[in-house]
Amino acid sequence: MSATSVKSRVNFGKIKHLAETPDLLEVQIQSFKEFFQLETTPDKRNIEGLFRVFKDNFPITDTRNIFVLEFLDYFIDPPLFDRRVYGAWLNLCRSAESETSLKL
């Protein structure tokens, strides 16, 4: 058997065309936009995606319920790119409060 011979592919399927293949890059970009909601203002964001993750997990309190960390908003810096890494910083706006006054 020679290494240069190419066998033709035989298709035993009865249906020639099942469905149109979606643009997978566009699907991923749309999913990213829906998850981060970057094009909406903070007061008009839907409670879904990353906003929902923060809303579900905040406020955070310490074990004695003295300090409370509350979620206010988030934003993402423009992406950074070099030859090895592509990423962006996620910034979280939060509020920290104390339930009791600390006496010095």
- Considering the domain boundaries, does residue 18 fall inside one? no
Q: Please report, in tens digits, the pLDDT of each residue of the chain (104 residues total).
A: 556 677 888 878 787 777 788 899 999 989 988 999 988 888 899 999 999 999 999 999 989 888 899 998 998 888 777 777 678 888 888 888 886 654 43
Q: Tell whether 51 is covered by a domain.
A: yes
| Domain tally, the chain | 1
Note down the domain range covering 93: 24-98
Backbone φ and ψ for 68, nearest 5 degrees, come out as -130, 130
Residue 78 domain-assigned (yes or no): yes
104 located within any domain: no
Burial (0-12, 13-18, 19+ Cβ within 10 Å), 20: exposed
Q: Distance between CA 104 and CA 48 in Å, rounded?
A: 43
Residue at 19 is within a domain: no
User: Side by side, which strands form the sheet with 60-61?
Assistant: 60-61, 67-76, 90-98
55 lies in some domain: yes
